[in-house]
Structure 1
Amino acid sequence: MRGKKPSALVLTGLTLLLAATACSSNGGGNGNGNDGGNAAGTNEGGETKAADSVTLGMMWWGTDERHEATKNALALYAKQNAGVTFKPEFMAWDAYWQKLPTLAASKSIPDVLQMDAAYIQEYVARGQLEDLSDIDLDGIVDPNVVDNLKIGGKLYGIPLSQNASGIAFNKTELEQYGIPLPKQNWTYDEFFQWARDARAKLPEGKYPIGDTTAWDGFNFYQTSMGKDPVMSDGGKKFTLDKDLFMTFYKTYEEFRKAKIVPPAEKGAAFLENDPQADPMASGVVMTRGATTGSVSALEQLMPGKVGVVNMPTGPSGGGWAQSTIFLSVSANSKHKDEAKRFLRWFITDKEAGKTLGLTRGIPINPVIYKDLEPTLAEKDKLGKEIYDLSVEKALPFYSAAAGFSEWVDTYNKEMQAVTYGQQSIEDAYDKINKMGTELAAKAGS
């Protein structure tokens, strides 16, 4: 998504990255994905007529491949819908998020914009996005996924693709050493015991799992146990359960002593998707975190050797499976109805589906995916497998709240100090909890 990053290891989710679920048919709309009741009419050629000629501004980020596919899809919609034209604008990820705040400040966001799970709550809180709850997604997106995406009971982004967090594992080496492969819906207790048992069968210098220092690794654990996410209500509520925190990280403390996870120095040198430095591709660690979107890169490094499973679960479930990339409508758009028609078309029209392919991940609409599936490589099918394994027990995707970026960095720094033996788990908890509590109080005021 945005280049190489140090591995967050086995329990760390990858927040950006490419998107959610789906259920059955295209919802009963016509071949163009337009509801008969919403269209303004059709001409003799079967094109849908807009009531008046409109130009929709649309803005997105991505690769050149995504740019070209999207422009072709816009041309297709314009051909099918007389009177509609587009003003497209596209750029790289960093440039997009540098420009969007400026447009928001001047209330000049384009009619349609691509949105990411890491930022959508922030723009909803600013009143910049239109409520899309009236767009009929029945039979297109799994109702549970739609519910997980709602903010304050309303839907502000139409999910574009299926994404999920899971664990990739080196099935070839695990089988070589006689270690049972991970099974779907394993619990955290089973995950931890699997790591202990695997350690006994692995040679020196190889480790069953990686260490974890990032906040979302613990957040997976806390929410799976039925507790609130670490950050909720836009950052106004902060919950860092001390008992769970101590249990989780004392387990990893035990693992460091038993060489079940790599030493801190080795872990700090890992780089995901680097042939020599990736924890799993390098042959050092048998498992690592992966998402629907990211596992394809790992499969390219280790063709035929990668297996996948869902995140460990607790009484409330575990991991997440939903979309992390959306299309939204500007609250200041003068063409909201046409923009909403376009959004539904974008995920239901079969020709659009072929044109867009996998440029935004595995399509959210199962009908579109079914048409594409025969053409997919094994690396792409692995991503779909992560999603299918995860969706049953999945929890919502929890991103860091606005204003918590420094806290996220502090969490990682303090927990790294723990891995190096420079401070106790309890001292780290006190610092992290104090800062989070203060930020939540500030957000609430």
Structure 2
Amino acid sequence: MITGKNQRRAAAAVAVALGGAAALAGCSGSSNSSATELSTDPVTITVTFWGGDARVSSTQEAIDAFEAEYPNITVEPQYTDWNGYWDQLATQTAAGDMPDVVQMDELYLASYGNRGALYDLSNLNIDTTNFDTSAVDLGKVDGTQYAMPIGVGVYAIIANKTLFDQYGIALPDDDTWTWDDYAALADELTEASGGAITGSTQIGGFDAGSVKYWARSEGGELFGEDNTVTLDPQALADMWQFQLDLQASGGMLSASAITESQNAGINAGALATNAVALGTAYNTQITAIQGASGDDFVLLKLPEPEGIHPNSYKPSMYWSISSQTEHPAEAALFVNWLLNSDEAGSIIKTERGVPANNEVRAAITPDLSELDQTAIAYQDSVTPGDAPLVTPNGASSIETILARYTQEVFAGQSAPLDAANAFISELQGEIDAAN
């Protein structure tokens, strides 16, 4: 995840580049027939993405398979790491040289979509039949389909079953438990181990997903229409206070230990080093955590208020199409093939997340690792609520701002409600300044 200075620099570069993007975006909302008519002549399109060697390799294999099926279309890949990706894309967009197909992230979708840099995919031939509506809606900005999710995940409690078994404690019934039950269980784990482990690491305050969950649990949302932060400050304060109380009882890591775990990253944090038995993660992260830990883990549903489904799909990333493309039909064909083809699914598998396409996900599941199958089984067991609105333009630094206030609250430097109001005010100020 990009953070701090690099995140602000990337956001600034996007803003500068997109200031002139609207002038280049005349075809963004086009519905003329040429947008869907494939050429019989040789056509070359470009695709850009971030990622490491495994992603580069699997993407190239998928490109080779696509070109074998459509020999008149050549796909040229461009790739870099996350930190350099957004500067590069912003520069290309400003120069009128944006790649035809773009791997997009939720934090930047509104920035590019609202400034006219992306094609309205509803005007192209992209099949959404096998996608849940709540997944498709993740790619909409102000009702316009600027992106399609490649993969989706859902929030989860991750539990170290090895530690539960070691200390003779039964796993909870995650269909009926409450946050009070969670707190009691965390305390019990600490006590049963004689302090050898702590029951829980932090369960919210460093990622936007946790805030969305608590907001929706109390009947609200993090963001609303018209670039507004609609989060009820009391919902955020309640999330922080729950954790302060659990730290005080000994069921949750101390503030300093939480900061140390966060800084260590997913592969070396408290869950991965077996220092705690409970925490939160996205379902797809179980593979990395168990791989680093060596213990056995299970995924549990978060406590839900009766009649409310606060969980929602989180897009791992999207495919978008540039409004500058000279070949919208071919770009759409490539995106459609990546999203809907079993062949593409069998090549890429879960490298870009659990496929959002239900049929592709089912087709590849038997060939996946046991942990990937666990992540998919958990995802299928969760009833997601409606798709939350996309992060507004200007709010891409939300997790940096959130983490700062969370650390202040945990360190006793700010009262939860005061910090919640300050967080909302600062985040809204960032959005207002960008729009």
- Normalised by the length of structure 2, the TM-score is 0.81
- The answer on whether the counterparts of 1:309 and 1:389 sit within 8 Å (CA) in structure 2 is no
TM-superposition CA deviations, 1:252-306 (whole Å, max 9, x none):
22212211211112222112344xx421232221112222332211121234510
Instruction: Provide the C-alpha distance between the structure 1 equivalents of 2:280 and 2:321, rounded to a whole number of angstroms.
Output: 33
Instruction: Provide the C-alpha distance between the structure 2 equivalents of 1:368 and 1:429, rounded to a whole number of angstroms.
Output: 41
Does residue 294 of the first structure (1) align with residue 285 of the second (2)? yes
Alpha-carbon spacing, 1:370–1:172, altered in 2? closer, same or farther (3 Å) = same
Instruction: Provide the C-alpha distance between the structure 1 equivalents of 2:384 and 2:369, rounded to a whole number of angstroms.
Output: 27
Give 1:394 deviation, angstroms: 4.2
Instruction: Provide the C-alpha distance between the structure 2 equivalents of 1:340 and 1:225, rounded to a whole number of angstroms.
Output: 40
Q: Secondary structure at the match of 1:435?
A: helix
| Letter matched to residue 412 of structure 1 | A
TM-superposition CA deviations, 1:21-53 (whole Å, max 9, x none):
xxxxxxxxxxxxxxxxx997xxxxxxxx84332
Q: What residue is the counterpart of 1:181 in the other structure?
A: 171
Alpha-carbon spacing, 1:243–1:361, altered in 2? closer, same or farther (3 Å) = closer
- The answer on whether the counterparts of 1:54 and 1:83 sit within 8 Å (CA) in structure 2 is yes
| Letter matched to residue 213 of structure 2 | F
Instruction: Provide the C-alpha distance between the structure 1 equivalents of 2:194 and 2:390, rounded to a whole number of angstroms.
Output: 37
Give 1:405 deviation, angstroms: 5.2
Alpha-carbon spacing, 1:269–1:106, altered in 2? closer, same or farther (3 Å) = same
Does residue 58 of the first structure (1) align with residue 51 of the second (2)? no
| Letter matched to residue 125 of structure 1 | N
Q: What residue is the counterpart of 1:403 in the other structure?
A: 394
- The answer on whether the counterparts of 1:129 and 1:330 sit within 8 Å (CA) in structure 2 is yes
Q: Secondary structure at the match of 2:45?
A: strand
Does residue 113 of the first structure (1) align with residue 102 of the second (2)? yes
Identity of aligned residues (%): 23
Alpha-carbon spacing, 1:194–1:397, altered in 2? closer, same or farther (3 Å) = farther
Alpha-carbon spacing, 1:203–1:396, altered in 2? closer, same or farther (3 Å) = farther
Give 1:200 deviation, angstroms: 5.1
Give 1:363 deviation, angstroms: 2.6
| Letter matched to residue 257 of structure 2 | K
- The answer on whether the counterparts of 1:242 and 1:429 sit within 8 Å (CA) in structure 2 is yes
TM-superposition CA deviations, 1:355-378 (whole Å, max 9, x none):
323332233334333443333222
Q: What residue is the counterpart of 1:416 in the other structure?
A: 407
1:276-287 maps to which residues of 2 (within 5 A)?
277-287=268-278
| Letter matched to residue 224 of structure 1 | S
- The answer on whether the counterparts of 1:56 and 1:84 sit within 8 Å (CA) in structure 2 is yes
1:276-425 maps to which residues of 2 (within 5 A)?
277-303=268-294, 305-314=296-305, 315-390=307-382, 392-396=383-387, 400-404=391-395, 408-425=399-416
Does residue 96 of the first structure (1) align with residue 85 of the second (2)? yes
Which of residues 118, 123, 127 in structure 1 aligns to 2:112? 123
- The answer on whether the counterparts of 2:107 and 2:395 sit within 8 Å (CA) in structure 1 is no
Q: Secondary structure at the match of 2:402?
A: helix
Q: Tell me the matched-pair count.
A: 397
Higher helix fraction: Structure 1 or Structure 2? 2
- The answer on whether the counterparts of 2:234 and 2:417 sit within 8 Å (CA) in structure 1 is no
Q: What residue is the counterpart of 2:201 in the other structure?
A: 210
Q: What residue is the counterpart of 1:8 in the other structure?
A: none
1:18-29 maps to which residues of 2 (within 5 A)?
none
| Letter matched to residue 144 of structure 2 | K
| Letter matched to residue 130 of structure 2 | I
Q: What residue is the counterpart of 1:267 in the other structure?
A: 258
Which of residues 426, 429, 432 in structure 2 aligns to 1:438? 429
- The answer on whether the counterparts of 1:58 and 1:87 sit within 8 Å (CA) in structure 2 is yes
Q: What residue is the counterpart of 2:30 in the other structure?
A: none
- The answer on whether the counterparts of 2:45 and 2:327 sit within 8 Å (CA) in structure 1 is yes
Q: What residue is the counterpart of 2:22 in the other structure?
A: none
Give 1:398 deviation, angstroms: 6.1
TM-superposition CA deviations, 1:150-178 (whole Å, max 9, x none):
22222211222232221211112223334
Which of residues 189, 210, 224 in structure 1 aligns to 2:217? 224
RMSD, matched Cα = 2.9
| Letter matched to residue 379 of structure 1 | L
Q: Secondary structure at the match of 2:122?
A: coil
TM-superposition CA deviations, 1:172-219 (whole Å, max 9, x none):
222333433244444445444544555554432422222343362333
Q: What residue is the counterpart of 1:243 in the other structure?
A: 234
Instruction: Provide the C-alpha distance between the structure 1 equivalents of 2:138 and 2:356, rounded to a whole number of angstroms.
Output: 15
Which of residues 70, 73, 78 in structure 2 aligns to 1:84? 73
Instruction: Provide the C-alpha distance between the structure 1 equivalents of 2:157 and 2:425, rounded to a whole number of angstroms.
Output: 31
Q: What residue is the counterpart of 2:159 in the other structure?
A: 169
Instruction: Provide the C-alpha distance between the structure 1 equivalents of 2:299 and 2:207, rounded to a whole number of angstroms.
Output: 23
Gaps of 5+ in 2: 4-34
- The answer on whether the counterparts of 1:130 and 1:156 sit within 8 Å (CA) in structure 2 is yes
- The answer on whether the counterparts of 1:116 and 1:325 sit within 8 Å (CA) in structure 2 is yes
Q: Secondary structure at the match of 2:44?
A: strand
Alpha-carbon spacing, 1:90–1:200, altered in 2? closer, same or farther (3 Å) = same
Alpha-carbon spacing, 1:399–1:248, altered in 2? closer, same or farther (3 Å) = same
Larger CA deviation: 373-382 vs 93-102: 373-382
| Letter matched to residue 107 of structure 2 | A
| Letter matched to residue 363 of structure 1 | P
Instruction: Provide the C-alpha distance between the structure 2 equivalents of 1:386 and 1:296, rounded to a whole number of angstroms.
Output: 13
Instruction: Provide the C-alpha distance between the structure 1 equivalents of 2:407 and 2:420, rounded to a whole number of angstroms.
Output: 12
- The answer on whether the counterparts of 1:272 and 1:279 sit within 8 Å (CA) in structure 2 is no
| Letter matched to residue 244 of structure 1 | A
Gaps of 5+ in 1: 4-37, 41-48
Instruction: Provide the C-alpha distance between the structure 2 equivalents of 1:192 and 1:149, rounded to a whole number of angstroms.
Output: 36
